[in-house]
Chains A and B, each alone.
Chain A
């Protein structure tokens, strides 16, 4: 079937936020109307995406193709378990984030709010395209689109610092994607005549030896959004953006689009068997392990809260890459679950950072002594998010880490186990002091002179929701685990 049909749920997943962007732009005169549009669009998208879930869980693989431009080159979509998981997480969190954005943007009297909401909706449309992409070129197209539409969000402040950060953001993401990823894609097309994601691996039978490792290098560093060092610099730079952007885009949509693409390429282009077989693909583990540890050490030294969260994100993203690089199905399931687990936990942390900024205008960790008394809800949510990052039981982070460790154990990859354990300690070392300071230290004289309460209600509402989701994913992980196991074939 070729053609764009608006009755098709896959097409709708991209079309709803895209049309929503239009409606939001039209509603620019009335903020209330505009925000209603955002919430309505977000809800409609989530309903549409979740309606697909039962079919995919039952083994269905809905597919559609929009158009074909040359033989073998088409814009096509196919939903597989990983894409379903990613879309479900992103569409759910968009609703929560919209509520949060309304509180944050109004609370801080930000300028150009219409542009903000429009770009946000477009970013979600691109994310849906990435999640459901059926071939490499479609994935690449939406991957680039996501970079472009998030640029105005990153540079929202419009000052020189923001623009400079924006250049780093674009330069690294577009540079790596055109320089490496597109080259890799063209290589795959040139040797197989197709770029369609296939169960068992598209190139599993046509590549052997050193080219496998080389192609993997091109893909991993071409997918700059996965932030494997040294192509991670865009992520801390992007932290100049308003907090809701950091929250949804740099905890969920953008960075997860990166690691999602890594898993997708590893599973459906290379095939896990090929990667496990070829010694030339072994380097990935060391690159990921280095990033996990190094980013954690850098995070330790950051006083700015958002920067610490940014480096924590880099480290957590490489957990996913690390789990893939064990080349074991159980660890792969852990990688997939970690996409959801980290999303819920990290968005909570960013929400909390934004809440602190909105209520108390504090951005540094050293200013947070005793803030737990003034903002108990925010800081409890922060604690839950932190526990999930560390991987403590009762939070989602535990589930994914469990699978990763089981996979590493099954593959007898003891070095991987060591890396995960060390990094867990590091995670604890940079999150627990924040919580300790917030609840058990006395407020500084300067902070006491500027009393403040909790952030506005929409912010708290969003914060509590994502913190609850973090716990809920631990208590009811079945759908996520089911999708992850389908992906891994176990």
Chain B
């Protein structure tokens, strides 16, 4: 490799964040210069570059390696360390690639939903959000996590508020209040750990916490951190902001956030629970994450049952997301290899699945101006490819064999059975049945209800449709070829269980 290129590759960890972060002010400059048409192109290109960087980072940590990068040449624990392992790199790839796909997909949709003079600012917020999410996954510094968390949160409030309807503002406001409480709790948690260990570097914290692990302050810190993050990733019953936010955000934003945002917060929880608090044992020999099991089961059932009763497709998917977050957290709460693998692989599979579903709904909204089930009658005839893509995403949500969703459920149920935890295996299957009901309700409307009289609808524009189909195909592809998803998830699970100190 030529030396210049090698030098650039060496800086990939920081470039992963800096590239989208720097593009944000450039994009707002476009608004100032009134070159609005360029905004989408710049945002998409930057997102594409980010994806390439993420893929290259994942390739270089594959096999259990860890990249440690000292920002500005200041050695950890004094300077800020960026630390990338398989789990982080997998998250980077999810965020960056979903951002790229949704941007390409969303061009027509954004043109329709957002006034043109605001496009550069919209894409500015988008790139900030991407930078924030990537930063959370890349950094090895606890306070830095908070900074990126806030960057991504603030920009996502803006993105949600960009929705066409007035309810978008209320939804964004509600998210803002709850999100800020979450971020504050997180900060209190980080502060307490800092107070007890005197360091903000996560790897350093993990070593120093051993000396103080049984103190009340550490337990309080864990509680604050968990609750704060649970608010951000919408774990039942802290999910109240999510359905509104996903329903009223612009279609592209719903697709992007639903596929990525909550997962990154879960990732942060994983780091804290396993790498830092994993060194401490709170009560009765239980792992911290095991406290989340009852909540995750409640999330699965509450979310799924609520989804059954929705008449708006976006809201239905949002409630289904509440349930799916439950699955991810359930996997984590087993605190064993199969469970963690299932939870992490579900982050990946759910990103593809929910991405595909929200994108399909976005295409419907683009043509019909509505996501109400009543307006989507006979969609199987009116928009056959979109409807079929939704069907594929739907069966993946249910967990039909040979789709991505099946892989996740397979690991979750295996984890339950290995634990001898019969009731959970049964509950998981029951929850799949509820998923059958809410997906089938939609399929019935699409395929077995005649379209309203005189309704003539075409498919969405070619590029948009192509991305929908691509994502739907991905949900099937990752149900068949599991080398990337399960490979990375399994490795990540082993790293986490060993305390991240490989």
Residues of B within 8 A of A187 (CB): 417
Q: Are A178's CB and B413's CB within 8 A?
A: no
Nearest CB on A from B423, distance (A)? 12
Which residue in A67, A175, A190 is a CB contact (below 8 Å) of B418? A190
23 contacts between A and B (CB under 8 A): A69-B407, A69-B480, A69-B482, A70-B410, A73-B410, A75-B402, A144-B400, A163-B444, A163-B448, A166-B448, A174-B433, A174-B436, A178-B429, A178-B433, A178-B436, A179-B429, A179-B430, A182-B429, A183-B425, A183-B429, A186-B413, A186-B414, A186-B417
Which 5 A-B residue pairs are closest in the complex by CB-CB distance? A190-B417, A141-B401, A186-B413, A69-B482, A178-B433
The chain B residue sitting closest to A183, CB to CB, is B429
The residue in A158, A163, A175, A182 that gathers the most chain B C-beta atoms within 10 A of its C-beta is A182
Q: Are A170's CB and B440's CB within 8 A?
A: yes
Nearest CB on B from A182, distance (A)? 6
Looking at chain B, what size class is its interface with the partner chain?
Answer: 20 to 34
Tell me, in angstroms, the Cα distance from A174 to B440 when the chains sit together: 11
Tell me, in angstroms, the Cα distance from A73 to B402 when the chains sit together: 10
Residues of B within 8 A of A155 (CB): 448
Which residue in A137, A170, A174, A190 is a CB contact (below 8 Å) of B401? A137
Residues of A within 8 A of B479 (CB): 69
Given contacts A70-B410, A190-B414, 13 further A-B contacts (CB under 8 A): A69-B482, A70-B482, A70-B486, A75-B402, A141-B400, A144-B400, A155-B448, A163-B444, A163-B448, A166-B448, A182-B429, A186-B414, A187-B417
Nearest CB on B from A254, distance (A)? 18
Nearest CB on B from A454, distance (A)? 35
Which residue in A67, A75, A152, A186 is a CB contact (below 8 Å) of B425? A186
A351 at the interface (CB under 8 A from B): no
User: How does the 8 Å CB contact mask read for B422-443 relative to A, with 1 for contact and 0 for none?
Assistant: 0001100110110010001000
Tell me, in angstroms, the Cα distance from A186 to B444 when the chains sit together: 29
Give the residues from 49 to 93 in chain B that come closer than 8 angstroms, CB to CB, to chain A: none
A77 at the interface (CB under 8 A from B): no
Residues of A within 8 A of B430 (CB): 179
The chain A residue sitting closest to B391, CB to CB, is A148
- A141-B426 contact given A174-B433, A178-B433, CB 8 Å threshold: no
Tell me, in angstroms, the Cα distance from A200 to B374 when the chains sit together: 54
Residues of A within 8 A of B482 (CB): 69-70
A219 at the interface (CB under 8 A from B): no
Nearest CB on B from A30, distance (A)? 20
Give the residues from 453 to 502 in chain B that come closer than 8 angstroms, CB to CB, to chain A: 479-482, 486
Q: Are B440's CB and A69's CB within 8 A?
A: no
A140 at the interface (CB under 8 A from B): yes
User: How does the 8 Å CB contact mask read for A138-181 relative to B, with 1 for contact and 0 for none?
Assistant: 00110010000000100100100001001000100011001100
Nearest CB on A from B394, distance (A)? 11
Which residue in A137, A163, A179 is a CB contact (below 8 Å) of B433? A179
The chain A residue sitting closest to B398, CB to CB, is A178
Per DSSP, chain B at the interface is helix
Looking at chain A, what size class is its interface with the partner chain?
Answer: 20 to 34
Residues of A within 8 A of B440 (CB): 170
The residue in A70, A141, A144, A166 that gathers the most chain B C-beta atoms within 10 A of its C-beta is A70
Give the residues from 17 to 47 in chain B that come closer than 8 angstroms, CB to CB, to chain A: none
Tell me, in angstroms, the Cα distance from A444 to B182 when the chains sit together: 80
Number of A-B residue pairs with CB-CB distance less than 8 Å in the complex they form: 54
Residues of A within 8 A of B448 (CB): 152, 155, 158, 163, 166
Residues of A within 8 A of B447 (CB): 152
User: How does the 8 Å CB contact mask read for B308-325 relative to A, with 1 for contact and 0 for none?
Assistant: 000000000000000000
The chain B residue sitting closest to A189, CB to CB, is B414
- A183-B426 contact given A69-B480, A70-B482, A141-B401, CB 8 Å threshold: yes
Residues of A within 8 A of B436 (CB): 174, 178
The chain A residue sitting closest to B411, CB to CB, is A70
Tell me, in angstroms, the Cα distance from A186 to B486 when the chains sit together: 19
Nearest CB on B from A289, distance (A)? 29
Q: Are A175's CB and B480's CB within 8 A?
A: no
Tell me, in angstroms, the Cα distance from A144 to B480 when the chains sit together: 18
Nearest CB on B from A483, distance (A)? 28
Which residue in B401, B417, B426, B444 is a CB contact (below 8 Å) of A140? B401
Residues of B within 8 A of A140 (CB): 401
User: How does the 8 Å CB contact mask read for A180-221 relative to B, with 1 for contact and 0 for none?
Assistant: 001100110110000000000000000000000000000000
Nearest CB on A from B126, distance (A)? 35
Tell me, in angstroms, the Cα distance from A91 to B418 when the chains sit together: 42
Residues of A within 8 A of B407 (CB): 69-70
Nearest CB on B from A401, distance (A)? 37
Residues of B within 8 A of A141 (CB): 400-402
The residue in B426, B448, B479 that gathers the most chain A C-beta atoms within 10 A of its C-beta is B448
Q: Are B425's CB and A178's CB within 8 A?
A: no
Residues of A within 8 A of B414 (CB): 186, 189-190
The chain B residue sitting closest to A170, CB to CB, is B440
Tell me, in angstroms, the Cα distance from A158 to B450 when the chains sit together: 9
Tell me, in angstroms, the Cα distance from A182 to B402 when the chains sit together: 14
Nearest CB on B from A167, distance (A)? 9
The residue in B400, B401, B429 that gathers the most chain A C-beta atoms within 10 A of its C-beta is B401
Tell me, in angstroms, the Cα distance from A457 to B425 when the chains sit together: 55
Tell me, in angstroms, the Cα distance from A478 to B69 when the chains sit together: 76
Residues of B within 8 A of A73 (CB): 410
Give the residues from 43 to 85 in chain A that come closer than 8 angstroms, CB to CB, to chain B: 67, 69-70, 73, 75
Residues of A within 8 A of B433 (CB): 174-175, 178-179
Q: Are B402's CB and A178's CB within 8 A?
A: no
The chain B residue sitting closest to A145, CB to CB, is B400
Tell me, in angstroms, the Cα distance from A174 to B433 when the chains sit together: 8
Residues of A within 8 A of B426 (CB): 183
Tell me, in angstroms, the Cα distance from A67 to B433 when the chains sit together: 27
Tell me, in angstroms, the Cα distance from A187 to B426 when the chains sit together: 11
Tell me, in angstroms, the Cα distance from A186 to B425 when the chains sit together: 9
The chain B residue sitting closest to A162, CB to CB, is B448
Tell me, in angstroms, the Cα distance from A163 to B449 when the chains sit together: 10
Tell me, in angstroms, the Cα distance from A487 to B232 when the chains sit together: 58
The chain B residue sitting closest to A187, CB to CB, is B417
Q: Are A69's CB and B402's CB within 8 A?
A: yes
Nearest CB on A from B470, distance (A)? 20
Nearest CB on B from A488, distance (A)? 30
Q: Are B480's CB and A67's CB within 8 A?
A: yes
The residue in B407, B417, B479 that gathers the most chain A C-beta atoms within 10 A of its C-beta is B417
Residues of B within 8 A of A69 (CB): 402, 407, 479-482
The chain A residue sitting closest to B444, CB to CB, is A163
Nearest CB on B from A169, distance (A)? 12
Residues of B within 8 A of A175 (CB): 433
Nearest CB on B from A340, distance (A)? 29
The chain B residue sitting closest to A115, CB to CB, is B447
Give the residues from 365 to 381 in chain A that come closer than 8 angstroms, CB to CB, to chain B: none
Residues of B within 8 A of A179 (CB): 429-430, 433
Tell me, in angstroms, the Cα distance from A170 to B426 when the chains sit together: 20
Nearest CB on B from A470, distance (A)? 36
Nearest CB on A from B156, distance (A)? 34
Nearest CB on B from A294, distance (A)? 27
Give the residues from 372 to 429 in chain B that come closer than 8 angstroms, CB to CB, to chain A: 400-402, 407, 410, 413-414, 417-418, 425-426, 429
Residues of B within 8 A of A174 (CB): 433, 436
Nearest CB on A from B114, distance (A)? 39
Tell me, in angstroms, the Cα distance from A175 to B440 when the chains sit together: 13
Tell me, in angstroms, the Cα distance from A183 to B433 when the chains sit together: 12
The chain B residue sitting closest to A180, CB to CB, is B429
Tell me, in angstroms, the Cα distance from A137 to B480 when the chains sit together: 13
Tell me, in angstroms, the Cα distance from A175 to B407 when the chains sit together: 20
